[in-house]
């Protein structure tokens, strides 16, 4: 799948393993690789498009998001790598609260880093132009699993994403959109927008990249401050947004 968002910067999505997404952002012959999973598939695209990898961005340290790093480095030893821990290293004196902007630019655009623990303690998102590479923080109509009980961290991380521009394109690390929408319809069965969206997606075999504006309509984890949702999910008192978030994530775990 190729996405032309900017006249010169293009995005290529590579499906790897069963449902992982590796992203290649490129301009002319230079490229950035986000979360490189399956080496052979990535190499195939790099050669096909005659690209030269300048930079690897890692959202977190799960093997399926970084398995191709060593193989890529063995061919292009000068590739720079930006990953959560070396961001902490650069910035160790102050915690990254919202945007940490790297001095380094790519294709003339700044690389903004958002600290987003939750799925993993060391997890960041990268915002370049209006692309958000969000790893396993947010998925289409869903969010990543939470390990080590980092519920509050995950909740806070998702709140940060909500304040990005509406036209932000959500480039996630996996895709479970159909199943996530079925879950969403179970929770909010009367939502016509979600129903229609599911109908459209069900027929299509294409990968989906949604804007933040659309995700806010179809993603329950971005709706946890919604009064009706909080009321509907509670047996007694109306849930607080964070309680609503935890409950939804636990329900999704066993769905």
Q: Is 175 in the site for Zn ion (CB under 5 A)?
A: no
In the range 212-251, which residues lie near Zn ion by CB under 5 A? none
Task: Report helix angle 192-203 to 177-187, nearest 10.
Answer: 160
| Dist. CA 161–CA 152, nearest whole Å | 15
Using the minimum distance from each CB to Zn ion, give the nearer residue, 12 or 62: 62
| Contacting range for Zn ion; rule: CB under 5 A; set: 7-15, 136-144, 152-160, 161-169 | 136-144
Smallest separation, CB 4 to Zn ion (Å): 28
Out of 35, 136, 175, 191, name the contact with Zn ion by CB under 5 A. Answer: 136
Q: Report in angstroms how near the CB of residue 117 gets to Zn ion at its nearest.
A: 12
Closer of 146 and 181 to Zn ion (Cβ): 146
Span of 12-20, 59-67, 195-203, 228-236 interacting with Zn ion by CB under 5 A? 59-67
User: Residues 54, 62, 223, 252: which binds Zn ion (CB under 5 A)?
Assistant: 62
* Residue nearest Zn ion, CB atom distance: 62
Contact yes or no for 158/92 (Cβ under 8 A): no
The distance of closest approach from Cβ of residue 49 to Zn ion in the complex, given in angstroms and rounded to an integer, is 27
Count interface residues toward Zn ion (CB under 5 A).
Answer: 2
Query: Where along the sequence are the contacts to Zn ion (CB under 5 A)?
Result: 62, 136
């Amino acid at each position: 799948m190729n996405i032309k968002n900017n006249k010169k910067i293009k995005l290529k999505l590579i499906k790897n393993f069963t449902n992982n997404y590796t992203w290649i952002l490129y301009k002319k012959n230079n490229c950035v690789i986000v979360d490189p999973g399956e080496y052979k598939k990535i190499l195939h695209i790099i050669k096909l498009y005659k690209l030269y990898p300048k930079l690897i961005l890692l959202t977190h340290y799960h093997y399926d998001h970084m398995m191709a790093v060593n193989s890529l480095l063995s061919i292009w030893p000068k590739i720079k790598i930006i990953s959560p821990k070396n961001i902490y290293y650069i910035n160790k004196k102050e915690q990254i609260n919202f945007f940490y902007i790297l001095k380094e630019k790519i294709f003339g655009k700044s690389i903004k880093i958002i600290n987003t623990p939750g799925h993993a303690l060391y997890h960041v998102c990268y915002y370049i132009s209006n692309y958000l590479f969000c790893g396993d923080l947010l998925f289409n109509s869903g969010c990543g699993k939470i390990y080590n009980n980092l519920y509050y961290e995950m909740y806070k991380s998702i709140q940060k994403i909500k304040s990005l521009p509406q036209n932000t394109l959500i480039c996630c690390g996996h895709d479970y959109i159909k199943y996530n929408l079925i879950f969403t319809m179970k929770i909010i069965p009367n939502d016509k927008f979600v129903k229609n969206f599911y109908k459209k997606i069900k027929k299509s075999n294409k990968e989906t990249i949604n804007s933040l504006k659309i995700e806010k309509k179809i993603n329950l984890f971005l709706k946890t401050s919604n009064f009706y949702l909080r009321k509907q999910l509670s047996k007694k008192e109306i849930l607080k947004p964070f309680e609503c978030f935890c409950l939804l994530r636990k329900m999704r775990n066993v769905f």
